[in-house]
Structure 1
């Protein structure tokens, strides 16, 4: 009897572990295929795991506990603690189709090496990801503004979404909302990539 109970418990636990990240919303279904949504789950899960490392709390609680003001006072956002090697491995775990619906590479020059052009991760203006943002923005005014900024500039900027606003504008940033979690994941992983990638752009 005890063995049956233990086996049942393992099966239930396995079910919740396998399903905990597999979410979908109407906005996602309208813009991505089923396999692409699975990739988006991987992106979201990776971001949460990297953000909440060594934390047993949920994403909302762990995000609130991060000393954002302290980190920013030294010129570092919390996202710079994300391991870029593991983030690069994440890119290899998602399909090119998914990647290309979110990001592209833009040429960037640095003062120290003005003769060279380097890859910078940029947004796809008018792409499926921005269409997802536009659709979600129909019920979230702040995300609509964010989507417009990305569409207009083709760029993810740290000024578009600040940690202060995310923590204080609870009307539009419900940290338990999977859509918001995905948006934050893509935004801050992009910022991390922009700050750490040093890859020369070849023609």
Structure 2
């Protein structure tokens, strides 16, 4: 029997514990908590209720996706607060070249680390996560996962009260926000 040292919700799942250290799981919870705070504002509602209340379709229709409200300065602070090993298990920096302008920038892309293994393990129980993990692995880019439209049409596989789903959505949209807002020149080291 595993005891939780705090009275708060249990965040770590079997799949998290199988793939990450306890320090990394603490960082993953910090990532999820940051995302929740950013999208829920000061509302004291749970992740699932908050996420459902966002007018996703209308925001997309007007070209202003909800993740753009995430403060990128604070997101970069989050990166500083989590361990480098946790960051590197999820993301890596890659070079992006914009064909129309020739501009070369630094952007986050998928790491083939523990996060990918975690998604693959979750995919053994969840066919939608399996497909998401496969697309992420083959493309190395979150946009290929197209998880957004599946969340509301498949509540069985996307239970918004499940910490695994919360974490996946958090990382997915924080990645989009980073890719949208990071404007750093690529330095070839």
Give the aligned partner of residue 93 of structure 2. 105
List, as ranges, runs of 4+ consecutive aligned residues in structure 1 with deviation greater than 4 Å. none
Residue among 28, 36, 55 paired with 1:40: 28
How far the C-alpha of 1:122 sits from its partner, in A, is 0.3
Q: TM-score, normalised by structure 1?
A: 0.85
Give the aligned partner of residue 60 of structure 2. 72
**2 CA distance for matches of 1:128 and 1:47?**
20
How far the C-alpha of 1:54 sits from its partner, in A, is 2.4
How far the C-alpha of 1:34 sits from its partner, in A, is 0.8
How far the C-alpha of 1:159 sits from its partner, in A, is 5.3
Give the aligned partner of residue 175 of structure 1. 160
Q: Is the counterpart of residue 119 in structure 1 residue 113 in structure 2? A: no
CA contact (8 A) 1:158 1:191 kept: no
How far the C-alpha of 1:111 sits from its partner, in A, is 4.6
Give the aligned partner of residue 25 of structure 1. 13
In our comparison, the structure showing a higher alpha carbon Rg is 1
Between the two proteins, the alignment pairs up a number of residues equal to: 183
| Cα distance change of structure 1 residues 122 and 192 upon mapping to structure 2, 3 Å threshold | same
How far the C-alpha of 1:123 sits from its partner, in A, is 0.3
**1:56-88 deviations in Å (ceiling 9; x for gaps):** 221111111111111111112111111111101
RMSD: 1.5
How far the C-alpha of 1:160 sits from its partner, in A, is 2.0
Pairs within 5 Å for 1:1-203: 16=7, 19-20=8-9, 23-111=11-99, 113-114=101-102, 116-125=103-112, 127-157=113-143, 160-162=146-148, 164-203=149-188
How far the C-alpha of 1:110 sits from its partner, in A, is 2.4
How far the C-alpha of 1:112 sits from its partner, in A, is 5.8
Which structure 2 residue ranges, 5 or more long, are not aligned?
A: 1-5
Which structure 1 residue ranges, 5 or more long, are not aligned?
A: 1-14
**1 CA distance for matches of 2:168 and 2:59?**
22
Q: TM-score, normalised by structure 2?
A: 0.91
